[in-house]
A and B are shown apart, each in its own frame.
Chain A
């Protein structure tokens, strides 16, 4: 018995000796490999910065080309409400006609997505029993995974006929149907981001409120929601940015008439809808209408970028810290 142990110790001793007496392996190759991999990773990460630079550069350069044309002026672009990019007649590039369409769609979408999304999030995080959660979460995930072109089809073939059945005044292409579909699209975004914020509120706050005799309603609405307010506001802003940039639904269901109107029964055109119309139509690469694409894209980019940035800042800076 003890001889076996001694034998094993001898073997171990030998291998330890071998480790210590072996010639030291050169680390040069390893270091070179580590460094080259590190540099490769940095190159990959720099690619994402490069994309941003490219977006800004391309949009700025082509927008400048657009404004250098004698037919276009910044005053007309920012001051007019008439958008008529076609050659001949009264050519006018008043971005407000498109912004008003985008705003109308976004407001309708947010009126749907915000209350539904927030209340569902409160329900999921504060009320729902585990079984309900197990149904509701996958439903929201499926809704989030449905492609936008499917929502556009739904708006065109189901929501619009339904609206027309309620009220004859609805055009075949109308802002209401598109707005409702965009709202459904944004609902999972609002819900999951708000729920994350609500769940991040520490349980001790809830326990304290229950201990003071609060009902579930009191705890949820008077304690948890205010504590998670920064996350909820950021969810709203990010969802609004998504609604502004939504393309396929509006180009299928909202129509293609650029004008300022606040009647949701009318057909309208959004910034994204105009870009699709230009890109799919026969526009010469050197025509002014082609460059107007970049000016509209730049406006859209600025609007969504500022919403996203404000949303991210609100979430990070104004977070209530409890621990």
Chain B
């Protein structure tokens, strides 16, 4: 006995217009081909991008590029000060951003609001962070320029726009010795009168090491000893006041210095750190928290001993990725520091600085071919740093992140 459908159904199936499946199959395979082609385009873009930079930059890669300061000659120029600028600015930025960012994420994720006002506050912060993440970085640069560089003009004096509250700056009277060395005599301030030169007075060389000077009267003969001649000076020598800053030099407003740059960069990456920390805190299973709470732990003990240790790999991954964003960020720092020619690594928080992306921007914007070549070489160095950061982040994500539930 065969199981046949009733005749009516069979008839209606036969009467139905025949739809070929082949056209749908063609559509499907065409779309699949388009998909593969499109996906290949993004791989091709990356290959072309990396290849063009390698072709342009590799011939100019040299040790001098890393160790030299920038120069008007492309062959002599290097990124030493820019590299130190990046280390100073991004290091400071990380030190300030990570605690604030993680703390904000903890508040949002681990302290659910209990009151109406608390709910309102939470909603406000959450909305605010997702909107802050979409603010263009150059707008943060403008904010940093106003809030940190000039500090809303609070400390400036219309008569003397460069005036500021300073701490740790010393003024020296600089003379040239007969052995062509600088002799620095400490004085009270930039308006102090020229000090009278005598033997045994406190004096320093240009690197601020104490020295003994030998003062001679006009017409006296030079000393025979070379080492004495190096710091021999006529008592009527001409000189001028120069400011010298120590490593703890601090001023208000911050001016176009390292600290202003780091604070501005903090504004840029803070939302990113918060969002990634929130995600990793959220992925900690709530059974762990419930277990700790059940053992009598206080909310902070739960966070410090249970939640944070489980979320640390995710937080670290997010932090490393946001630091690599900070290292590559140029626009806000361009507003803060401008395109400057700096030959020395920063030595205090208020020193002028440049960073690697800005140095690349400076070189890439020049019309000369050889500057574009060293820009390519500097990009290779920058990309090596960034790719190793990303690799570390991926490694942490894969090795340390164990499933917790």
Residues of A within 8 A of B103 (CB): 40-41, 44-45
A222 CB to nearest B CB, Å: 11
User: What's the Cα separation between A135 and B361 when bound, in Å?
Assistant: 31
B90 CB to nearest A CB, Å: 12
Q: Is the CB of A48 within 8 A of B357?
A: no
Residues of B within 8 A of A142 (CB): 46, 387, 390
Main secondary structure, interface of B, reads helix
Residues of A within 8 A of B129 (CB): 48
Q: Using a CB-CB cutoff of 8 Å, which residues 239-289 of chain A contact chain B? A: 241-242, 244-248, 251-252, 272, 275-276, 279-280, 285
Q: Tell me whether B138 is interfacial, beta carbon within 8 Å.
A: yes
Q: Which residue of A lies closest to B38 (CB)?
A: A119
B193 CB to nearest A CB, Å: 32
Residues of A within 8 A of B142 (CB): 58-59, 275, 293-294, 297
Which one of A156, A215, A294 has the greatest number of beta carbons of chain B within 10 Å? Answer: A215
Q: Which residue of B lies closest to A315 (CB)?
A: B130
Residues of B within 8 A of A40 (CB): 103
Q: Is the CB of A153 within 8 A of B53?
A: yes
Q: Using a CB-CB cutoff of 8 Å, which residues 279-305 of chain B contact chain A? A: 298-300
* Stretch of A3-11, A79-87, A203-211, A301-309 at the chain-chain interface: A301-309
User: What's the Cα separation between A127 and B360 when bound, in Å?
Assistant: 40
Q: Is the CB of A147 within 8 A of B357?
A: yes
User: What's the Cα separation between A305 and B274 when bound, in Å?
Assistant: 19
Residues of A within 8 A of B379 (CB): 149-150, 153
Q: Tell me whether B163 is interfacial, beta carbon within 8 Å.
A: no
Q: Is the CB of A305 within 8 A of B134?
A: yes
Which residue of A47, A124, A145, A246 contacts B390 across the interface (Cβ within 8 Å)? Answer: A145
Residues of B within 8 A of A55 (CB): 135, 139-140, 143
User: What's the Cα separation between A122 and B139 when bound, in Å?
Assistant: 34
A147 CB to nearest B CB, Å: 3
Q: Is the CB of A149 within 8 A of B143?
A: no
User: What's the Cα separation between A42 and B334 when bound, in Å?
Assistant: 32
Q: Tell me whether A212 is interfacial, beta carbon within 8 Å.
A: no
Q: Tell me whether B67 is interfacial, beta carbon within 8 Å.
A: no
Q: Is the CB of B43 within 8 A of A139?
A: yes
Which one of A49, A116, A154, A241 has the greatest number of beta carbons of chain B within 10 Å? Answer: A154
Q: Is the CB of A157 within 8 A of B270?
A: no
Main secondary structure, interface of A, reads helix
| A 114-140 to B, binary, CB cutoff 8 A, 1 in contact else 0 | 011001101110011000100110111
Do A245 and B328 contact each other (CB < 8 Å), given the known contacts A52-B132, A158-B52, A252-B361?
Answer: no
| B 119-137 to A, binary, CB cutoff 8 A, 1 in contact else 0 | 0010011011111111111
Q: Tell me whether B27 is interfacial, beta carbon within 8 Å.
A: yes
B314 CB to nearest A CB, Å: 16
Q: Using a CB-CB cutoff of 8 Å, which residues 5-60 of chain B contact chain A? A: 24-25, 27-28, 31-32, 34-36, 38-39, 41-43, 45-46, 48-49, 52-53, 56
Q: Which residue of B lies closest to A135 (CB)?
A: B43
Of the four ranges (under 10, 10 to 19, 20 to 34, 35 or more), the interface on chain B belongs to 35 or more
Q: Is the CB of B27 within 8 A of A217?
A: yes
Q: Is the CB of B42 within 8 A of A152?
A: no
* Stretch of A29-37, A68-76, A89-97 at the chain-chain interface: A29-37
Q: Is the CB of A285 within 8 A of B364?
A: no
Interface size on A, residues (CB 8 A): 89
Q: Is the CB of B334 within 8 A of A116?
A: no
Residues of B within 8 A of A47 (CB): 100, 104
Q: Tell me whether A221 is interfacial, beta carbon within 8 Å.
A: yes
User: What's the Cα separation between A49 and B364 when bound, in Å?
Assistant: 37
| B 257-278 to A, binary, CB cutoff 8 A, 1 in contact else 0 | 0000000000100110010000
B310 CB to nearest A CB, Å: 19
Q: Is the CB of A244 within 8 A of B387?
A: no
A284 CB to nearest B CB, Å: 9
| B 363-405 to A, binary, CB cutoff 8 A, 1 in contact else 0 | 0110000001001100100110011001000100000000000
Q: Using a CB-CB cutoff of 8 Å, which residues 337-370 of chain B contact chain A? A: 338-339, 357, 360-361, 364-365
Q: Which residue of A lies closest to B335 (CB)?
A: A279
Which residue of A54, A140, A305 contacts B131 across the interface (Cβ within 8 Å)? Answer: A305
Q: Is the CB of A308 within 8 A of B364?
A: no
Q: Is the CB of A123 within 8 A of B39?
A: yes
User: What's the Cα separation between A147 and B268 when bound, in Å?
Assistant: 14
| B 321-342 to A, binary, CB cutoff 8 A, 1 in contact else 0 | 1001101111100110011000
Contact sample, A vs B, 16 pairs, CB 8 Å cutoff: A30-B298, A38-B111, A41-B104, A55-B139, A62-B146, A116-B42, A120-B39, A136-B39, A143-B46, A145-B387, A147-B328, A147-B330, A238-B134, A247-B334, A285-B150, A297-B138
B binding-site residues for A, Cβ under 8 Å:
24-25, 27-28, 31-32, 34-36, 38-39, 41-43, 45-46, 48-49, 52-53, 56, 99-100, 103-104, 106-108, 111, 121, 124-125, 127-143, 145-147, 150, 152, 161, 267, 270-271, 274, 298-300, 321, 324-325, 327-331, 334-335, 338-339, 357, 360-361, 364-365, 372, 375-376, 379, 382-383, 386-387, 390, 394
